[in-house]
Amino acid sequence: MNRVVIKLTGKLFSPENVRVLMEIAEIVIEYKKRGLRMAVVVGGGETARRYISMASEAGVSLGWQDILGIGASRLNAMLFSSLLGDYAYYPVPTRIEEFIHAWNLDKIAVGGGLQPGQSNNAVAASLAELLNAELLINATTVDGVYDRDPRTDPNARLLKELTVKELKNVLSQSYTPGKYELLDPIAISIIERAKLSVVFINAFKPYMLKSVLSGERIYGSWVSP
């Protein structure tokens, strides 16, 4: 495996998770040294929620709320870049062309959102398509894709392998409110058209990322085209 796009949940970017972030950064640096090409997209997390809620209270439009959420995700990207040291592409890319630029220069670009109305997952999928990534790693808050909502149903079962079609079924049928937590329709449509391979893992268990980058298929849910 030579080309990977990693999506990190914004929930990582809060004071209690600094150690996890540092572990993830070390893993990324380690695999960069081994020759793996990577691009990273991070979410807005708590900071995004904070600014979106302030903007919302002030009566600012949803479009501008998106822009503030994007700003927050870029602040997270700056923090993660600072952990990568010389390996990072800096400053944080704000256009998809800059991600391509950084990739071709063999640096790790760490970015956040790009446009209102477009999720960070859609950005990651679009990047994976443009960069011909062999794998899109979606590091989220759960261990993978479940057949039911793992947070409420003790019988929820992790799906170790599934097709994009099956993923769409799971996302549409099961747990309603958080159904876009894993992937929104735009992100899925890009994954479909580009025939991307995707794995969902738990960002808070960095050994899962390490395992995936090493080429193992032990952890997470693997989605094939």
Can you give the binding site for a copy of itself, defined by CB under 8 A?
Answer: 13-15, 18, 21-22, 47, 50-51, 53-55, 57-58, 60-64, 67-68, 71-72, 74-75, 78-79, 82-83, 85-91, 94-97, 100-101, 103-105, 107, 114-118, 122, 125-126, 129-130, 132, 185-186, 189-190, 193-194
* Helix, strand, coil percent values for the chain (each to nearest 5): 50, 15, 35
DSSP 158: B
Give the nearer residue to a copy of itself in terms of CB position, either 61 or 169.
61
- What distance in Å separates the CA atoms of residue 2 and residue 9, rounded to the nearest whole number? 23
Q: What are phi and psi of 136, to 5 degrees?
A: -110, 115
CB of 225 to a copy of itself, least distance (A): 13
Describe the strand order of the beta sheet including 135-140 as a list of residue ranges. Answer: 88-89, 108-111, 37-42, 3-8, 135-140, 198-202, 221-224, 161-163
Give the nearer residue to a copy of itself in terms of CB position, either 144 or 206.
206
CB of 121 to a copy of itself, least distance (A): 12
DSSP 93: P
DSSP 177: T
Query: Between β-strands 198-202 and 221-224, what pairing exists: parallel, antiparallel or unpaired?
Result: antiparallel
Beta bridge partner(s), residue 89: 109
Nearest to 68 by CA among 7, 121, 104, 113: 113
Give the nearer residue to a copy of itself in terms of CB position, either 47 or 197.
47
CB of 11 to a copy of itself, least distance (A): 14
Give the nearer residue to a copy of itself in terms of CB position, either 90 or 175.
90
CB of 94 to a copy of itself, least distance (A): 7
Give the nearer residue to a copy of itself in terms of CB position, either 79 or 167.
79
